[in-house]
Structure 1
Amino acid sequence: MEAESSPAPLAMEVETSTPAPQQQPPLHRNPLAIVNIVMIGIGAVAGPLILRSYFVHGGSRKWLSSFLQTSGWPLLLPHLIFRRRKDCCSPLFLLPPWLLAVSAALGVGIGLSDFLYAYGLADLPVSTSSILISTQLVFTAFFALVVVRQRFTSFSINAVVLLTVGAAMLGMNGAGSDRPEGVSRAAYYVGFAMTIGSAATYGLVLPLMELSQARLAVAGRSAGSYSLVLEMQVVIGIGATAFCIIGMIVNKDFQAIPREAQEFGLGQVGYYSLLVGAAIVFQFFFLGIIGAIFYGSALLAGVIMTLLISVTEVFAVIFFHEHFNGTKGVALGLSLWGFVSYFYGEIQTNAKQSDIPPITEHFAV
């Protein structure tokens, strides 16, 4: 195939020697895709609740709480070790060096996003934080357009507008009854800004993950097999964890952990159990996200996260007795309306354009 005279940034036409990527079955007929979506559900709902519980019962280390969101990557090592034992000559990582470096850099971006999220959640109710995080769909949509040339419809644009309006409503109403006891007006708005910053950072990272997977597929590496995607998640986790550990060292979090455990409201056993549980459920979340991108797209991953907001809201009210006012209700309704709008548009688009080639045909290493 001839190259275009003026190729778009970050994209090149595939050479004729590039192997055709494997077509993925529809999501509802793909068991692995469903498993990844379930993992997103576990992490997206349980993760914020556990992390907020840490702050509610006396925890205060923001770098530690961001570390918990990324430190579960060793759970994936048995897969890599088992594969290596089957083939003693196989290296631990089969990813090309360039993608190892890119994955580590993406990990740093996720580490930054996790810190901003933890900082915001320390001063915001879970219900407010969750609605604000849903705005990552807006940033994901924008960066997906720039990075991977995501196709948009009137339905997806409508979803972006609805989510933006919902976040703006929370911002105008936020310093009222929604503000937790003991949190100043300034601290509340700093947390508000930090959470939006986390959403923006993560909205950029998701399309970059999709782009990396697309380039891996056209490189002929097992057509971008899911095993290599797990490798990406391990390297991303290492990069994010290293970033957070540096912050913990500078902030002297390691020295503070034993003292914080002794003073924790749920006791020392409850403290360490909470830390371990947070690391596990957030690893479920990130593994599910990268799987959703592999079987769908970055925008799909963002939409699933938005859908789960309502579940998180319900549990936040039950466990933390958070005040759920009319503004939050309207913002939540707009978020769910945005989700339905996007998903309906995707169904209509897929029905009309089922013969459009996948994104991997647009990229070459």
Structure 2
Amino acid sequence: MDVEAPKEPLPVGGAARGTSSNNKAMHWLMVALNCGMLTLGTTGGPLLSRLYYSKGGQRQWLSAWLETGGWPLLLFPVSFSYLARRARDGPGAPLVLTRPRTLMAAAALGLATGADDFIYAYGLSYLPVSTSAILISTQLAFTVFFAFLVVRQRLTAFSVNAVALLTVGAVVLGLHASSDRPAGVTRGQYWLGFFLSLGAAALYGLVLPLIELAYKHAAGGGREVTYALVLEMQLVMGFFATAFCTVGMVVNNDFQAISREARAFELGETRYYVVLVSCAVLWQFFFLGAVGVIFCVHTLFAGILIAVFIPVTEVLGVIFLHEKFSSEKGVALVLSLWGLASYSYGEYSDAKAKKKKAALQAQDP
């Protein structure tokens, strides 16, 4: 099953391949920062989105809009980076504007992300967050498959085993579906949410390697891919994803319904807006952390991190949203974690073998 070895992770402004301790320290700081944001977004975003629905929210387009609606938060680091670069190098356009193909790729990825946001939000409106989290875990399987096709990421027995386990876990969950339907959700709506969640996992599993591919094309011709460019790309992606969902909100008259929905929200009008704002911030952490991890490491590591916090999301759903934790969910969760462990061990073994091979080559005159 093996194909060509994966290419080296893209450097953080050259830091990933640098030899100085300062560059290495900066690289790992960036890795830790992006992993932290991805962790907060992966666990907090779904919980708040489900809280919105469980306490009276009914607008799927609004929920989808919130997933990327926090993109203006990126204006601060992007502006700081641009002004610092301008002071150092003189006047010049933002990096993404100097690379039209990269700009177009970011815009297209943004539209795809907007579509994925809506599919996910629609599915979550009919599912408990614990069930949705297990289904979204299949994203790792889709990421492995599409990373193999798009960026020629290496397939191993461990990654194939992980895909099989995640698939079986989703099937086990599906065989006993609808036993944990939220109040007011019909069996048909539950199944719709089930398959929409799988579709959202598949689409984002494709988006992640496409983002990595966009980085590789941006680095073509010897040009350096910097974290400043990554931020600008995410800004463009967030803008177009939000624009996509804004059109949906306009067509669905969601803007006119927000004030009415706030007054009827079970937690109160003020907390309604707190939930919306917090949801937008946490989802922005998710997307920024995901593209940052792809940049600093690679696509599949981002998929691993997203999957590893499935049990955390499930436990938080049971504690804070009082969701049921059935035996089927337990089996599916075990299979998901088994798949994750299999893939992680494969990555560890592969990295260890490469390190040993490099050491032997260095000793060989």
After the TM superposition, which residues 181-196 of structure 1 pair with which residues of structure 2 at under 5 Å, given as runs? 181-196=183-198
Write the distance in 2 (CA, Å) between the matches of 1:272 and 1:201.
29
User: CA-to-partner distance for each residue in 1:203-243, whole Å, 9 max, x for gaps?
Assistant: 1100000101112223433x211111011100010110010
After the TM superposition, which residues 50-199 of structure 1 pair with which residues of structure 2 at under 5 Å, given as runs? 50-86=48-84, 87=86, 89-95=91-97, 96-176=99-179, 178-199=180-201
TM-aligned CA deviation for residue 356 of structure 1: 9.6
TM-aligned CA deviation for residue 316 of structure 1: 0.3
Write the distance in 2 (CA, Å) between the matches of 1:152 and 1:61.
40
Distance 1:149-1:84 versus aligned 2 partners, 3 A rule: closer
User: CA-to-partner distance for each residue in 1:18-56, whole Å, 9 max, x for gaps?
Assistant: x9x947268997111011111111000010110000001
Secondary structure of the 1:128 match is helix
Runs of at least 5 residues in structure 1 that lack an aligned partner in the other structure: 1-7, 14-18, 358-365
Q: Does the CA-based 8 Å contact 1:28-1:34 persist in structure 2?
A: no
1:24 alignment partner, one of 16, 22, 25: 16
Distance 1:271-1:101 versus aligned 2 partners, 3 A rule: same
Supply the AA of the counterpart residue of 1:161: A
Query: 2:217 — aligned with what?
Result: 215
User: CA-to-partner distance for each residue in 1:154-189, whole Å, 9 max, x for gaps?
Assistant: 11111111100000111111122x111211100000
Query: 1:35 — aligned with what?
Result: 33
TM-aligned CA deviation for residue 83 of structure 1: 3.3
Supply the AA of the counterpart residue of 1:266: L
Write the distance in 1 (CA, Å) between the matches of 2:275 and 2:75.
22
Secondary structure of the 2:68 match is coil
Write the distance in 2 (CA, Å) between the matches of 1:356 and 1:174.
48
TM-score (norm 1): 0.88
TM-aligned CA deviation for residue 152 of structure 1: 1.4
Distance 1:254-1:32 versus aligned 2 partners, 3 A rule: same
Query: 1:248 — aligned with what?
Result: 249
After the TM superposition, which residues 221-236 of structure 1 pair with which residues of structure 2 at under 5 Å, given as runs? 221=223, 223-236=224-237
Secondary structure of the 2:91 match is coil
Q: Does the CA-based 8 Å contact 2:42-2:306 persist in structure 1?
A: yes
Secondary structure of the 1:140 match is helix
1:47 alignment partner, one of 34, 45, 48: 45
Write the distance in 1 (CA, Å) between the matches of 2:64 and 2:206.
18
Write the distance in 1 (CA, Å) between the matches of 2:326 and 2:42.
22
The ranges of structure 1 where at least 4 consecutive aligned residues each deviate by more than 6 angstroms after the TM superposition are: 25-29
Distance 1:82-1:22 versus aligned 2 partners, 3 A rule: closer
| Cα RMSD after superposing both structures | 2.2
Supply the AA of the counterpart residue of 1:283: Q
Write the distance in 1 (CA, Å) between the matches of 2:193 and 2:95.
38
Write the distance in 2 (CA, Å) between the matches of 1:201 and 1:356.
36
Query: 2:325 — aligned with what?
Result: 324
Supply the AA of the counterpart residue of 2:280: A
Supply the AA of the counterpart residue of 2:141: V
Q: Does the CA-based 8 Å contact 1:66-1:111 persist in structure 2?
A: yes
Supply the AA of the counterpart residue of 2:166: L
Write the distance in 2 (CA, Å) between the matches of 1:226 and 1:52.
32
Distance 1:313-1:145 versus aligned 2 partners, 3 A rule: same
Supply the AA of the counterpart residue of 2:16: Q
Supply the AA of the counterpart residue of 1:170: L
Q: Does the CA-based 8 Å contact 1:52-1:121 persist in structure 2?
A: yes
Q: Does the CA-based 8 Å contact 1:159-1:338 persist in structure 2?
A: yes
Query: 1:362 — aligned with what?
Result: none
TM-aligned CA deviation for residue 138 of structure 1: 1.2
* Percentage of identical aligned residues: 51
Query: 2:20 — aligned with what?
Result: none
Write the distance in 1 (CA, Å) between the matches of 2:26 and 2:94.
32
TM-score (norm 2): 0.88
Query: 2:260 — aligned with what?
Result: 259
TM-aligned CA deviation for residue 354 of structure 1: 4.2
TM-aligned CA deviation for residue 296 of structure 1: 1.6
Runs of at least 5 residues in structure 2 that lack an aligned partner in the other structure: 18-23, 359-365
Write the distance in 1 (CA, Å) between the matches of 2:82 and 2:290.
25
